Amino acid sequence: MVNLIAELPGESNDIVIIGSHYDTKLFKEFKFVGANDAGSSTGALMELARVLAVKKPNKLTYRFVFFDGEEAFCKEWDDCHNPNPADPKTPLPDNTYGSRHYVAQLVQKNEAPRVKAMILMDMMGFKNLRLGRADLGTSWLQDIVWQTGKQLGYKEFVDTTEGVGDDDHSPFLKAGIDSLDIIQLSTYGAYDSEYWHTKEDTLDKVSAKSLKIVGDTIIASLPKIEERIQSRSR
């Protein structure tokens, strides 16, 4: 597995990470395209990096991280686990390989304190976009992004709870790094398997308008996030 990392230096060494997993789940039963999961967020992250590089100079340093190995090898996340040499009673999960490895490296290199916020995108390109707040995330980050989306006139940001649980932002939260997840799971057929992890997750489900909504909102949110981070460090 390979994590892909690009950095846009800023005036400060403090870091904001914007990330997406770019791996596609493997199925033996059918060809899984993964247009929304996670082609949409991978494409959006590439465009965000391009736009922010043009807009520089920026106050904080930005890292754009494409995580590998978010998807499980087994069909479901809980179908199998990996042995844990450190604690045989607590096996390692079969998911989020890239993000767990990346955070472990941050901790090992003593870089974790420099990372002030992490924004994860995952499954955010559905043509019928509806983004609730993920049940696992940092409230102040969610408040900024959701309020900014509404201020831009995007009604797709709604004040409901999106039941997600673990995702690539989870290892960051466990390391004490403020993080949020922008994801549409429940209304993409996660529970009735209409599109999610099926052969129906194809490009016709993805809308350029939805990608623009999320991209515009993140870009407009970043100055507010920077201000919040810098005010806390004074």
Please check whether residue 119 is in contact with residue 182, taking contact to mean a CB–CB distance below 8 angstroms.
yes
CATH number of the CATH domain containing 208: 3.40.630.10
Structural domain range at position 212: 4-233
Q: Which residues contact 115 (CB under 8 A, 6 or more apart)?
A: 15, 16, 17, 106, 172, 177
Residue with tokens 């922008």: 182
Give the residue from 69, 52, 68 showing the smallest Cα distance to 10. Answer: 52
Give the number of domains in the chain.
Answer: 1
- pLDDT (tens, 9 = 90+) of the chain, 234 residues, equals 999 999 999 999 999 999 999 999 999 999 999 999 999 999 999 999 999 999 878 899 999 999 999 999 998 888 999 999 899 999 999 999 999 999 999 999 999 999 999 999 999 999 999 999 999 999 999 999 999 999 999 999 999 999 998 999 999 999 999 999 999 998 886 555 589 999 999 999 999 999 999 999 999 999 999 999 999 877
| Global pTM exceeds 0.75 | yes
